[in-house]
Amino acid sequence: MTTLIAYLRARAFQRGLTLSEFRRLGLAAKSASQARSFVGGYGAARLALRINRMSNRRGLVADKLLFGATLAGAGLRGAEIHAVFGRPGPPGIRQIQAADDLRAMLNELEDLPLFGKPLMGQREGGEIAIFGYDDQTDEILTVDGDPVPLPEFWTMLQDHHCAGGYLFQPFLKQHPDLVHRVGPVLATVRVVTLYNGDAAQLYRAFWKVPMGDGVTDHPRAGNAAAAVDLKSGRIGSVYSDPTGNRQRLETHPDTGAVLDALYIPHWPKVCDLVLQASGLFYGLPLIGWDVAICPEGPVIVEANTNPLLELPQYLDGTGALAGPGGDELRKLLRRSDRARRKGRLARRRRRWDLVRGRLGLKRSPTQL
């Protein structure tokens, strides 16, 4: 009952916080003003949509072919693409149009393992990590040890990815310091940037830690995460299932390596890379960049227009709308809302002028 009273007093529902989220974040022990700086999963998605809704560049980020081409055109390092299914690819990119094309690619390919994922969208699901191909059994050998019959995989591509497309990328090699800590599966850093119209700035960052047999590092897929200090690149406490049954990890369950006192390698280069990319996609004021830490430097894997603003709150106990970063988010919200109101007013004026024109009346002064 005490938690419910605190939840209602803080009007947490206005920030998209459910009662269970309010409880897991421990907000009943905070003041009402502090609790109002936190957002729930729904509230974070709604906030990101309000900030980015005025831009038609969301599709440019969601389409990994266009996104990669844009980065390459600006001289920024992004993940390479080896082959594409279901969509025409750029010159030099292999086209997979039949099951035999897939067999030929796997037989000829020397740069394994290979990572496959949907070409469109920013959600997890449909990924595969290919370690090899057995032409005797016609099976794809995966990194997690479970072979997948190639005809079954081809049917999945046809049933689910003919319209949006599917791409295959070489596995990025992870920095040896991170391989020692978490293993070979890519552990990317999500760095969230804000673009206020004049310059890009860093907002928050967190490290995604893969665990178990999964091939991705998404925190909601049974993995872990840790906050990253923006100035130094040092990670904070690592938590498994951070938004659910949160448990602090001192060592990685697979490698046994200690996770404390770790600094993200190439951190200054990571910050420079995402700030440059944020300026390139200036029409999207709020972006979460997934960056791979490779031996030779950082590589942008993908960008997200819904960067999961709710997740860092579970890692460092600070609300998404707190502090200077929260002030900048509020400014972006106000600017977006003003632009939306102006657009709505302009549409009404155009409709009214159309009516006036049909009635033979003068148009409004702004349209003369």
181 to each of 115, 130, 261, 262, how far by Cα in Å? 21, 23, 11, 9
> How buried is 256 (Cβ within 10 angstroms: 0-12 exposed, 13-18 middle, 19+ buried)?
exposed
| Cα separation, 314 vs 136, whole angstroms | 48
- Sheet containing strand 247-249, edge to edge, reads 247-249, 235-240, 224-228, 200-209, 189-195, 286-294, 297-304
- Give residue-wise pLDDT tens across range 238-276: 999 888 888 999 999 999 999 988 999 999 999 999 999
> Picking from 111-120, 185-194, 300-309, 311-320, which range would have the lowest pLDDT averaged per residue?
111-120
Cis amide linkage into residue 113, ω under 30° from 0: yes
Q: Write the single-letter amino acid at 200.
A: A
- Give residue-wise pLDDT tens across range 122-157: 566 678 888 888 889 999 988 777 899 999 999 999
> What is the arithmetic mean of pLDDT over 73-102?
89
- Give residue-wise pLDDT tens across range 344-364: 777 777 777 777 777 776 655
Confidence of residue 88 (pLDDT cuts 50, 70, 90): confident
Q: Is the pLDDT of residue 55 over 70?
A: no
Q: What is the pTM of this model?
A: 0.88
Q: Which residue has the tokens 């990815």?
A: 161
Check: CB of residue 248 under 8 Å from CB of residue 237.
Answer: yes
Residue 323 C-alpha from the chain's centroid: 23
User: For the chain, what is the mean pLDDT?
Assistant: 88
Q: Is the pLDDT of residue 69 over 90?
A: no
Q: Higher-confidence residue: 292 or 3?
A: 292
> Picking from 192-201, 301-310, 327-336, 340-349, which range would have the lowest pLDDT averaged per residue?
340-349
Instruction: Give buried/exposed letters for 97-133 (b at 16+ CB in 10 A, else e).
Output: eebeebbebbeebeeebbbbbbbbebeeeeebbbebb
Q: Please name the CATH architecture into which domain 44-73+175-328 falls.
A: 2-Layer Sandwich (3.30)
The confidence score (pLDDT) of residue 354 equals 77
The SS3 of residue 336 is helix
58 to each of 38, 69, 164, how far by Cα in Å? 25, 15, 15
| Cα separation, 20 vs 155, whole angstroms | 40
> What is the arithmetic mean of pLDDT over 332-339?
83
Q: Which residue has the tokens 């292999």?
A: 94
> What is the arithmetic mean of pLDDT over 215-223?
79
Q: Hey, where are the domains in the chain?
A: 1-36, 44-73+175-328, 83-170
| Tokens, residue 116 | 């496959």
The confidence score (pLDDT) of residue 368 equals 45
Instruction: Give buried/exposed letters for 67-79 (b at 16+ CB in 10 A, else e).
Output: bbbbbeeeebbbb
For the chain, the straight-line distance linking the first and the last C-alpha, in angstroms and rounded, comes to 62
Cα torsion for 94, 97, 102, 105, to the nearest 10°? -20
| Cα separation, 27 vs 320, whole angstroms | 13
Check: CB of residue 316 under 8 Å from CB of residue 236.
Answer: yes
> How buried is 337 (Cβ within 10 angstroms: 0-12 exposed, 13-18 middle, 19+ buried)?
middle
The confidence score (pLDDT) of residue 350 equals 78
Task: With residue 146 as reference, give the H or E element that holds it.
Answer: none
From 350, 331, 174, 129, select the one nearest 264 (Cα to Cα).
174
Alpha helix segments (H runs only) across 168-322? 176-182, 267-280, 311-316
